[in-house]
A and B are shown apart, each in its own frame.
Chain A
Amino acid sequence: MTEIPGSSRNISFAIVGTGGAGAITAGSLLLEAAGKAGWYGLLTRSVGPQIRGGEAAALVRLSTASAACMSKEFDILVAIDWKNADRFIGAMPVAPGGLVICDPEAGPPPRAVREADCTLIECPIGELAKSVQGGRENMIATGLVAQLIGMPMDELSAVVLEMLKSKGEAAQQASLACLRIGAEAAAAFGQSRPLAAPRPHDSKRWLITGNEAIGLGAMRGGVRFAAAYPITPATEVLEYLAPALAATGGALVQAEDELASINMIIGASFGGRPSITATSGPGLSLMMESLGLAAASETPLVVIDVMRVGPSTGIATKSEQSDLNIAVYGFHGDAPHVVVAPLSVSDCVLCGQWAMHLAETLQTPVIVLSDQSIGQARVLIDRPADVTFLTRRKPFVATGEPYQRYAITADGVSPMAIPGQPGGQYTAEGLTHTERGSPSSARVDQHAQMVKRHGKIENFDFGDYWGVDEGDGASDTVILTWGSLTGAAREAIDSLSEEGIPARLIALRQISPFPGERLKALLAGTRRLLIVEQSFSGQFHRHARAHIDLPGEVRLLNREGPYNIGPEEIVAAIREWRAQ
């Protein structure tokens, strides 16, 4: 493909319409076609809780390089209609000089759009769709955007044909006609926002959501059983695993509630099968008692928590990083366990696999803190690299001696018998127990087992997976963050670097046990430490402070949901700090 003059390495567009109008489909088609053509990209949905009739918008960013987070502003906004747009249009401001395309029949644009510094173009989207038998407005919108950004029509047509394969040829042809008509209409605007040509590549791109990626990661990690109770925004993890497990001889059971799902995976794991469930804050709250049981009975399992805005029911469809406290500190009693967090959609694959490995190896519950912003983002990425972990439960071997399920060992991990193994019979126990597993209220047993469970996790070598240390390693300005905000922070240090401001990024994947000693060493000499997190009370900041004394001056850039902290805010915070 030849470079188009005036093209950009990044283009962002939003397609809005009433739920059911097909805005999300339009965005998805363009994203997939972009992947076929060799670009990277990211799609997030802005949807209300209603399936139809509410607001819906597809927000898409396409890029010549990996796109880690959504843009703050949009180069192109196409409105199929403006119904309900007032409620959410603030979340997708048009960039200065941006293009807004709307149907004059759909009424006046919302005030935020009318007052924006943008070019408003009227286009009879509805009428154009009606000119084709079976034509749809969202396909007109797709054609418009394709033309404006310079998307090759061959790729787009192929994606549309594939999507409508089951709908028959008439529907396929109608959609192709709409694409053409939309593209022709846009060609007449005398405006465009071309995307720079993709870099040459030889491997196929992947199109995947964070929720699918974490499910695939768990599959790579050997999961054989899942229990499921639906909850937004985690359901897609379970809906991914259901057919994936069925196709590979595993099983997923839909449970009656989260109390059942956590206990089902305890049972399956006791039976020797690596097990998982996925939930969000309200479900995690219900699971806490049994997570404690898994810690005490040393039953390996993984719980994926796709965090949403809390507390209580909160905002189910928006993101927050506010379950750190419950995930790390929510257990009653002292119950050592592991909490990890993926740094990006692509990293969800690694984290899902790593979590299964940690659970099996340490015989402990592992909570993975993903969130809505990456869980429900659909991205174009390179295939996540293969990683090999030497995963295995320490096996029980019959010796003729009485079996001690909770034997004190050097590394704190005891051989675990699996039902069916002769001579390994034991009762897994949530009561304080002896090494054999017999209930005990003796101080000596409480102490011995506490030390053992604590030690197996604290003394474990988590290796290089603790997190990432990127950017200018010599800089005394450090951005410290965790989980999904790593994408925004990465873009921020890139922007700062382009401005000539050196900055370093440290992002934690390992949340608990907290990698305190490692972090302390990395932060030595830091003068400015900016902690970035998506929680009102600064849960991560307090968590870090509870473990180490933070060096230099510390500032906090934090906020509750539903608006994600973006790269430009991080850049502004650093710029301002340095100017003082």
Chain B
Amino acid sequence: MNVPNLKASSFKSDITPIWCPGCGDFHVLLSVTKALAELGRAPEDIAVISGIGCSSRIPAYTACYGFHGVHGRSLAVAAGLKVARPDLTVMAMSGDGDGFSIGGNHFLHACRRNVDMTYIVMDNRVYGMTKGQPSPTTESDWDSALSPGGTGLRSFHPLVIALASGANFVAREFSGDIKGCTRTIVEAVRHPGFSFVEILSPCVTFRPDEKAWKDQVHVASVPETDDPARAARRIMTDDGMNTGILYRGPRAPYHASVSDREVDLAPLERAFEI
């Protein structure tokens, strides 16, 4: 049901976020609530699903239904919910550790499955809640107590993986660009199938170097495409700081869903008669 006069504040709860001052996630929360106001559905028709980590605290800060689950499994919870309740708008929200490391396998299969929902990953390239360990998107030489001198591992490229795995909508935004984030989230929710939005969201505490992101990001100079090969080439050759909608695909969303219809068990029971 569409509700008139919704504002961003209609989607904010009265709980004060516990993020560090200056955390990019405040801006993501603001963009999400602005986008929801623009989408015009009542808060009770929206579900925000998360895992574990700083960014995964977000459901309780919204006025929607929420689920704060275990580490890495938000996409599975969200997929189950959307198939069970196709009438709801379902959004999964996660961080780079939650979404790409412990939850990496679910990410691949969520892209393949293409359930009609939106996945927002607040990527700060660090585990913040556990106080500064490298995540899959962290640069290989980033020094930390857990991996002195860096992990030596190639960093993960979520957008390329999403494209290769079949996500139907792929975008990157920067948390500080509220307008850009809001617009892209609205488009992501509206697009059928699995929509993936990576939001670069600085961790000012453990990655103070990311404060420079605001000067490094730039709106992509080329328009979005529906050609996955073109999108992949673009995203693999850019500087990692391009923002905007990269890819919007035509795949049909996942087919199955639960309906409210009356259940007649008699035919199932008769099938066992001999």
| A contact residues vs B (CB 8 Å cutoff) | 32, 35-36, 204-208, 212, 216, 219-220, 222, 224-225, 227, 244, 246-253, 255-257, 259-273, 275, 289-290, 292-293, 297, 380, 383, 417, 419-431, 437-439
Contact B273 A260 (CB under 8 A): no
Write the chain B residue with the least CB distance to A34.
Answer: B274
What is the bound-complex CA distance between A290 and B76, given in angstroms? 11
What is the bound-complex CA distance between A39 and B208, given in angstroms? 78
Q: Which of B82-90, B177-185, B187-195, B239-247 contacts A (4 or more CB under 8 A)?
A: B82-90
A260-B76, A429-B68 known; A207+B274 contact, CB < 8 A: yes
Residues of B within 8 A of A428 (CB): 66-69
Closest Cβ–Cβ distance, residue A384 to chain B (whole Å):
9
A-B contact pairs, 16 of them (CB 8 A): A35-B274, A248-B264, A255-B76, A260-B106, A266-B67, A267-B76, A267-B79, A269-B80, A269-B84, A270-B65, A273-B85, A289-B70, A425-B66, A428-B69, A438-B15, A439-B68
Residues of A within 8 A of B15 (CB): 438
What is the bound-complex CA distance between A70 and B81, given in angstroms? 42
What is the bound-complex CA distance between A270 and B48, given in angstroms? 12
Identify the interface centre among A207, A256, A261, A417: most chain B CB within 10 Å of its CB. A256
Residues of B within 8 A of A36 (CB): 274
Contact B42 A427 (CB under 8 A): no
What is the bound-complex CA distance between A420 and B267, given in angstroms? 32
What is the bound-complex CA distance between A380 and B109, given in angstroms? 41
Write the chain A residue with the least CB distance to B88.
Answer: A419
What is the bound-complex CA distance between A403 and B263, given in angstroms? 32
Residues of A within 8 A of B82 (CB): 267
Contact A247 B77 (CB under 8 A): no
What is the bound-complex CA distance between A271 and B79, given in angstroms? 11
Closest Cβ–Cβ distance, residue A216 to chain B (whole Å):
6
What is the bound-complex CA distance between A415 and B54, given in angstroms? 29
The 9 nearest A-B residue pairs measured at CB: A267-B80, A264-B80, A427-B66, A263-B76, A268-B84, A267-B81, A267-B77, A271-B85, A256-B109
Residues of A within 8 A of B44 (CB): 419-425
Residues of A within 8 A of B105 (CB): 256-257, 259-260
Contact B67 A216 (CB under 8 A): no
Identify the interface centre among A36, A268, A438: most chain B CB within 10 Å of its CB. A268
B99 at the interface (CB under 8 A from A): no
Contact B80 A290 (CB under 8 A): no
Count of B residues near A, CB < 8 Å?
54
B60 at the interface (CB under 8 A from A): yes
Residues of A within 8 A of B233 (CB): none
Q: Which listed residue, A207, A257, A265, touches B272 by the CB 8 Å rule? A: A207
B259 at the interface (CB under 8 A from A): yes
What is the bound-complex CA distance between A395 and B181, given in angstroms? 37
Per-position 1/0 for B244-274, Cβ under 8 A of A: 0000000000001111110111011100111
Contact B70 A270 (CB under 8 A): no
Per-position 1/0 for B34-50, Cβ under 8 A of A: 00000000111101110
Write the chain A residue with the least CB distance to B87.
Answer: A420
What is the bound-complex CA distance between A297 and B67, given in angstroms? 9
Residues of A within 8 A of B70 (CB): 263, 289-290, 292-293, 430
Residues of B within 8 A of A424 (CB): 44, 65
Per-position 1/0 for B54-66, Cβ under 8 A of A: 0001011001111
Contact B273 A204 (CB under 8 A): yes
B199 at the interface (CB under 8 A from A): no
Write the chain A residue with the least CB distance to B264.
Answer: A248
B200 at the interface (CB under 8 A from A): no
> Which B residues between 173 and 230 are near A, CB-CB below 8 angstroms?
none
Residues of A within 8 A of B162 (CB): none
What is the bound-complex CA distance between A290 and B72, given in angstroms? 11
What is the bound-complex CA distance between A426 and B43, given in angstroms? 11
Closest Cβ–Cβ distance, residue A421 to chain B (whole Å):
6
Contact A216 B269 (CB under 8 A): yes
Residues of A within 8 A of B64 (CB): 425
B23 at the interface (CB under 8 A from A): no
Contact A266 B265 (CB under 8 A): no
Write the chain A residue with the least CB distance to B255.
Answer: A251
A205-B274, A425-B64 known; A259+B76 contact, CB < 8 A: yes
What is the bound-complex CA distance between A415 and B272, given in angstroms? 38
What is the bound-complex CA distance between A289 and B75, given in angstroms? 16
Given contacts A256-B105, A430-B68, A438-B60, 7 further A-B contacts (CB under 8 A): A220-B265, A224-B258, A225-B84, A253-B83, A256-B106, A267-B49, A270-B67
Residues of B within 8 A of A246 (CB): 256
B172 at the interface (CB under 8 A from A): no
B78 at the interface (CB under 8 A from A): yes
Write the chain B residue with the least CB distance to A162.
Answer: B274
Q: Which listed residue, A249, A266, A431, touches B263 by the CB 8 Å rule? A: A249
Write the chain B residue with the least CB distance to A246.
Answer: B256
Contact A260 B68 (CB under 8 A): no
B125 at the interface (CB under 8 A from A): no
Residues of B within 8 A of A207 (CB): 272, 274
Closest Cβ–Cβ distance, residue A286 to chain B (whole Å):
11
A264-B76, A273-B258 known; A425+B65 contact, CB < 8 A: yes
Q: Which listed residue, B48, B77, B81, B258, touches A250 by the CB 8 Å rule? A: B258
What is the bound-complex CA distance between A269 and B259, given in angstroms? 14
What is the bound-complex CA distance between A571 and B86, given in angstroms? 56
Contact A266 B77 (CB under 8 A): yes
Write the chain B residue with the least CB distance to A242.
Answer: B256
Contact A420 B273 (CB under 8 A): no
Closest Cβ–Cβ distance, residue A400 to chain B (whole Å):
15
Residues of B within 8 A of A249 (CB): 258-261, 263
A259-B73, A297-B67 known; A208+B88 contact, CB < 8 A: no
What is the bound-complex CA distance between A434 and B260, given in angstroms? 33
Residues of B within 8 A of A293 (CB): 69-70
Closest Cβ–Cβ distance, residue B104 to chain A (whole Å):
11
What is the bound-complex CA distance between A224 and B259, given in angstroms? 9
Contact A244 B268 (CB under 8 A): yes
Residues of A within 8 A of B106 (CB): 256, 259-260
Contact A219 B265 (CB under 8 A): yes
What is the bound-complex CA distance between A30 and B57, given in angstroms? 60
Contact B43 A268 (CB under 8 A): no
Q: Which listed residue, A205, A206, A427, touches B67 by the CB 8 Å rule? A: A427
What is the bound-complex CA distance between A348 and B98, given in angstroms? 38
Q: Which listed residue, A216, A260, A271, touches B73 by the CB 8 Å rule? A: A260
Residues of B within 8 A of A262 (CB): 76
Closest Cβ–Cβ distance, residue A418 to chain B (whole Å):
9
Residues of B within 8 A of A273 (CB): 84-85, 258
Residues of A within 8 A of B87 (CB): 420
What is the bound-complex CA distance between A219 and B264, given in angstroms? 10
Contact A251 B256 (CB under 8 A): yes
A224-B258, A424-B44 known; A263+B80 contact, CB < 8 A: yes
Closest Cβ–Cβ distance, residue A229 to chain B (whole Å):
11
Contact B84 A248 (CB under 8 A): no
What is the bound-complex CA distance between A513 and B83, given in angstroms? 33
Closest Cβ–Cβ distance, residue A385 to chain B (whole Å):
12
What is the bound-complex CA distance between A150 and B73, given in angstroms? 58
Closest Cβ–Cβ distance, residue B19 to chain A (whole Å):
13
